[in-house]
Amino acid sequence: MEQRLTWLIVLVFITVTMLTVIQFYLLISLFNEDYENLEDEIYQALFEASYEINKSTSSLGNREEGSLNIELYRYYRLPEEELFSENNAFVEEFPSVNERLVKSALGEHLEPLNYNLKYEYGVYYPALDSLLISSNLVYIQELKNSTFTAPIFIAETNNRVFLTIYVKGIINRILVDNLFWYLSIFLTLLAIVVLYIFLYKEILYQRKLSVLKEDFVANITHELKTPLSSSLLALERLRKEGESFTEKKRRKFIEIIYSESKKLNSLIERILDSSGIRENQFELNPVGFQLIVQLEEIVKDYERRAFDKEIAIRLHYKSRPEIKADLKLFKILTSSIIDNSIKYSVKKVNIDIALEHGNSGLNIFFKDSGQGISEEYVGVVFDKFFRIPNKEVHDVKGHGLGLFYVKNIVEKHGWEIDLISKENEGTTVCISIPNRDVIK
């Protein structure tokens, strides 16, 4: 079983990992495709704008208001003695460039893309690493480094002048325009991861439960075998030597058989009763009864039993309240708490049962002087089949269901339970019964 669960965990891990990789690949592929498509559309619009500017530019002598003559602009940058040097690589002749024309052409071809692009534009001359036109001086470096460029015209020395744009927030634009698809893929990916985590935890829980069940079967088998073995031994002695026994000795063996048979029957009945409690499938049969009377009977029953350790159970109360509850289940609840205190105490066992009235109802405290429970296990002691893992646990008879039954019984009644414990300082269990179930 454990091996099958291990393989199931591995299979689930591989499947979820593959699905996650596929979803991530689809997400990246979709984004890259959208980015490339947008780039292509921007390039297409940019080249169309460049073509329009080339057609509309006037000659060097035809200067319009608002136009820029690149030749004169560059000459003023040079020292006067070098202005007409033959070796000067910067002496170029260009047509005039109208800034209004650049802005108009870009707007005409970029706006129809329906992306609401925010961009800055410029005219860049790489030979001088300078912008001849710039819509915003803040973005000079971005315009120089932009990949969105298109040639406007070529100078006499074959140096190109480029129309360049810097698109702001292009990734955000893609994400916004395809938000539905990205979100759906992301949510699918998230759902796969959450499902994997859930399945992984569930499989680990089932694996842990499988181990605990095996431990439960081993312990319950031991508990059933002990009285049965005692009865068989007594019967075997009677069968072989019974005729030579005195009447007193014969009755002693019969009493042993009867006593062990009662133990076996009681244990089987408890297991059968507990099966319904374990699945929380049981009906309550609430009746009114004197709480102190029932607690005193339970204490006397424990005092009559033979234990291999000294046990002292004390009751503390100022009144004798009557409560309404399922009497049979209340006895199982109380006995399970006391059994736990006895089992996990080393030598002398001191158990104090105290009643305290509060504004909201009646509190029953079960306090022992046992080994206590370390902080890491306090929150899980009510779990099904749980037994505290320590070196002495296998020497203690039990099946890890006692406190689980207690919790189910308490919850079925609509009561509350709390456990306070500290290692080597004992444990206190508090059952809170609301006023509606306290008759007086």
**pLDDT value of position 80:** 39
Question: Residue ranges per domain, the chain?
Answer: 2-177, 180-278, 286-437
Q: Which residue has the tokens 């979820």?
A: 16
Say if residues 131 and 144 touch (Cβ distance below 8 Å).
Answer: yes
Element (H, E) at 51: helix 2-56
Which CATH entry fits the domain spanning 180-278: 3.40.50.720, 3.90.650.10, 1.10.287.130, 3.30.1490.20? 1.10.287.130
- The residues with which 36 forms a beta bridge, in sequence order, are none
Beta strands in 16-88, from DSSP E residues, in sequence order: 67-68
Predicted local confidence at residue 283, as pLDDT: 78
- The pLDDT assigned to 95 comes to 56
Structure tokens at 251: 């009755």
- Beta pairing partners, 322: 290
* Cα angle value 202/205/209 (rounded, 5°): 135
Q: How many CB atoms lie within 10 A of CB 66?
A: 10
Contacts 24+ apart (CB under 8 A), 291-295: 291/320, 291/321, 291/322, 291/323, 291/355, 291/362, 291/364, 292/317, 292/320, 292/321, 292/355, 293/320, 294/327, 294/330, 294/331, 294/334, 295/334, 295/353
Output the tens digit of pLDDT for each of the chain's 440 residues: 556 666 766 777 787 778 777 877 877 887 888 888 888 888 888 888 888 888 776 443 444 444 444 433 333 333 434 433 444 444 445 555 678 888 888 888 888 876 777 889 998 888 888 888 888 888 899 989 888 898 886 555 456 788 899 988 777 767 676 677 777 777 877 887 787 788 778 777 777 777 767 766 766 776 777 778 878 888 888 888 877 888 888 888 888 888 778 778 767 776 666 555 555 566 788 999 999 999 999 888 887 665 667 788 999 999 899 999 999 889 888 988 988 888 877 777 889 999 999 888 999 999 998 888 888 778 778 877 677 765 454 455 555 667 888 888 899 899 999 999 888 888 999 999 999 998 87
3-state secondary structure 119-173: EEEEEEEHHHCEEEEECCHHHHHHHHHCCCEEEEEECCCCCEEEEEEEEECHHHH
Q: Does domain 286-437 have CATH number 3.30.565.10?
A: yes
Residue with tokens 């105290």: 354
* pLDDT attached to residue 400: 62
Listed in sequence order, the residues at least 6 apart from 152 whose beta carbon sits closer than 8 Å to its beta carbon are 50, 53, 54, 57, 97, 123, 161, 162, 163
Which contiguous run of DSSP H or E holds residue 432? strand 427-434
